Structure 1
Amino acid sequence: MARKEYQQKLNELRENVLYMGEIVQERLRMGLAALEDKDEALAEEVITRDAEINEMYLELERECTDLIALQQPVAGDLRFIAASFKIITDLERVADLATNLGEYTKQATRDLFPDVDVQGIGSDTLEMVEAAMAAYATENVADCYEIAERDDALDERCERASEVVVRDLIETELGDGTDENEIEEMLQDVSRLLLTIRDLERVGDHAVNIAARTLYMAENDDELLF
């Protein structure tokens, strides 16, 4: 393969990874919207269309594998391909977490704990993924560090939200006269909400992973990898 054609393949890989990022971000938006509006049709769309993301992932995996096996890239090119492969793995997992939001939407029976701003947390995680993909596109090292710092604030926000759910459940929701069936239903809703918070926190973790791989790709710096 001529150098010009090889460089074109690398450019195409970056473009395809960015496109996958756009699709995954849209699915996350859809999952959050379904959860907010209790839109079961939208939730089902997020769930059923996850197969598209999986197919996209496998195709990009083949692209990365072929570039390594057939071209034996060195130095910067090898880091770029390896980082791209790791990033699509994180994107595929973010899509899985968006699918979880669809599942939680279908399971929800009522609104609980209005003090827990799930949509605000979701918006934060979506912005982190957007910023991480933008950093990958431009190899912006400063943004990689900023995303990692934002994750600390997200973790604290998720921890506080989980504490609110548990505290309110103990203090106000389960009185002595509460029917056992009502208790069981309430516990299912609480479990769903805690899982939602956990999954959104994981989206933030994947955004940090993308930033860490971008930093390594651009600077051969593994500081954020561990």
Structure 2
Amino acid sequence: MSRESYQQQLDELRDAVVDMGDLVVERLDVALTALRTVDPEVAQSVIDGDDEINELYLDLEADCIDLFALQQPVATDLRFVAASFKILTDLERAGDLATNIAAYAQSADRQLVPDVNVDTIGHKATEMLERSIDAYRREDVEECRAIAADDDEVDVLCQRASETVARDLIDREADTDDGWAVEQLLDDISWLLLTLRDLERVGDHAVNIAARTLYLVETDSELLY
């Protein structure tokens, strides 16, 4: 195979990874919309679309394996294929988190904790993921480091929100002797805490993608651990 044809394969792999990333970001946005609007049909569209992401992941994983086996890339090309392989895994898992959030949205028909703005946290986490995909596309190492720094803000927001949820639970439980009401409240609190946990994980996957990109470009492992 000529170098030109080989390079085309590498370019096509990058484009396909970016396209998959864009699809995952889109699904996260839709899941957050379903959560905000309490729309079970919109939520179901995300759940139904998970198979598409999984199939795309498997197809691209196979492409990476073919490049490893048939082309035996070395040096920079090897790091690129290996980084792309790892990034695909993070994107597939972020797609699973979008599905989780959509499933939570289908249960979001009860009163939420008013002081917890899940939509704001979700927007920040999704934006991080979108930026990490673009950093991979452009091999932008400064953006990779900026994304890692921004993850601290998402972590703090999720921690504060979880503490607010816990305080609200204690206050409401103290104000009622109705066991059924407490059980419903616990259901509400449970899905809200799970949503916060998954949004924090979206941010973590964004950092993983940034870390792999940084290592790809500069062989710098500072964000890998």
Please, what TM-score do these two structures have when normalized by structure 2?
A: 0.98
Deviation for aligned residue 1:183:
0.7
- Work out whether 1:13 is the aligned partner of 2:13: yes
AA aligned opposite 1:129: L
Offset at residue 111 of structure 1 (A): 2.5
- Cα displacement (A) at 1:105: 1.0
**Residue 175 of structure 1, CA deviation:** 3.0
Give the whole-Å Cα distance in 2 for the aligned partners of 1:189 and 1:21: 31
Number of matched pairs: 225
* Amino acid in the other structure paired with 1:72: Q
% identical aligned pairs:
57
How far the C-alpha of 1:101 sits from its partner, in A, is: 0.9
User: In the aligned structure 2, how far is the partner of 1:90 from the partner of 1:202?
Assistant: 10
SS at 1:107 equivalent: coil
> Is 1:67 aligned to residue 67 of structure 2?
yes
Q: How does 1:63-212 map to 2 (within 5 A)?
A: 63-171=63-171, 173-175=172-174, 177-212=176-211
Counterpart AA for 1:201: E
SS in 1 for 2:174: coil
- Post-superposition Cα deviations, 1:166-212, rounded to whole Å, max 9, x if no partner, equal 012112x1135431111111101101100000000000000000000
Distance in 2, matches of 1:221 and 1:31, equals: 34
The gaps in structure 2 that reach 5 residues or longer are none
Task: Give the CA deviation at 1:9.
Answer: 0.2
| 2:214 matches 1:221 | no
The residue type equivalent to 1:155 in the other structure is D
CA RMSD of aligned residues (A): 0.8
Q: Secondary structure at the match of 1:224?
A: coil
- Show CA shifts across 1:148-181 (max 9, x none): 000011101100000000012112x113543111
Taking the aligned partners of 1:204 and 1:215, their CA distance within structure 2 comes to: 16
Contact 2:38 2:109 in 1 (8 A): no
Q: Distance in 2 between matches of 1:92 and 1:25?
A: 11
